[in-house]
Amino acid sequence: MKSTLLILGLLFSIPLSAGVYKCTDAKGNKIYRAIPCGEGQSKVELNVKTGSSTDLIAKEKEEVLTQQEQEAKEAQKKLEEEQQSQKVAQFKQSVLDESAKNQFLVKSNPSKFSAFAIPPYKYEDLPPLVKSFQSRLPDIERLRRQAAEKSLSTGECGRVESVELSEKSSKDNLMILVDCSSAKKFYFTEKELAN
């Protein structure tokens, strides 16, 4: 008996769970159907259990708007990521350009510079001191070259052995240390090299 009631209950609940659609055509005629409305008709789904209705056209428009907003956000995010990657690529290229100038200077003047006088800083593998000034890496490379040239122009430095960023550097003012073969050391600030 229980199983018979259960089966009958299931059979009668299936039609109730099916959707009811209120379709209104262009003339204003209302038709209630068990299948979704066709094109050119307003579409309203009626919930038999709660008595509420859902305007399917408005719901579709809302879903389309939500999807368009999501796509716009994704496109904006992708654009920002591309711009950021371009900035990083340009930054790395400027570091490489300055390093290449340093290496050209060293190789073209072997009597004035030791082979490793101005070793290039690699963006991915920076010493701890330089890493804290990573955002100024192109400036550091340029200042190293200028400091080496300025120390040679004093006449007190016969040959440059090494040019490094000094530990005395600050965020506002970088300081470069130049070691000469004559055991003379020069410290140049960013402001001194700018003149």
Question: Measuring CA to CA, which residue among 100, 152, 90 is closest to residue 121?
Answer: 100
* pLDDT at residue 29 in the model: 78
Residue-wise pLDDT tens digits, 157-185: 989 999 999 999 988 889 999 999 988 99
- The arithmetic mean of pLDDT across residues 85-113, rounded, is 92
Q: How does DSSP classify residue 120? A: P
* pLDDT at residue 187 in the model: 94
* pLDDT at residue 143 in the model: 93
* pLDDT at residue 61 in the model: 83
Both 125 and 33 in one domain: the answer is no
Both 171 and 99 in one domain: the answer is yes
- Inside any domain, residue 170: yes
* pLDDT at residue 178 in the model: 95
Q: Of 28, 47, 63, which residue is a domain's last?
A: 63
Both 117 and 152 in one domain: the answer is yes
- The arithmetic mean of pLDDT across residues 49-78, rounded, is 84
Helices (H), the chain: 2-17, 56-108, 128-131, 137-153, 190-194
Please state whether beta strands 53-55 and 42-46 pair in parallel, antiparallel, or not at all (unpaired).
Answer: antiparallel
Both 119 and 165 in one domain: the answer is yes
- Inside any domain, residue 74: no
**Model's pTM, two decimal places?**
0.62
Residue-wise pLDDT tens digits, 30-39: 777 777 777 7
CB 53 within 8 A of CB 47: yes
Both 59 and 91 in one domain: the answer is no
pLDDT of residue 55 exceeding 60: yes
pLDDT of residue 14 exceeding 60: no
As a whole-number percent, the residues of the chain with pLDDT over 70 amount to 84
- Inside any domain, residue 69: no
Print the domain residue range for 131. 87-194
The CA distance from 30 to 67, in Å, is: 31
Domain total of the chain: 2
Is the model more confident about 47 or about 139? Answer: 139
Both 95 and 35 in one domain: the answer is no
Both 105 and 38 in one domain: the answer is no
CB neighbour list of residue 151: distance below 8 Å, 6 or more residues apart: 157, 160, 178, 180, 186, 188
CB 165 within 8 A of CB 175: yes
How many residues are given for the chain? 195
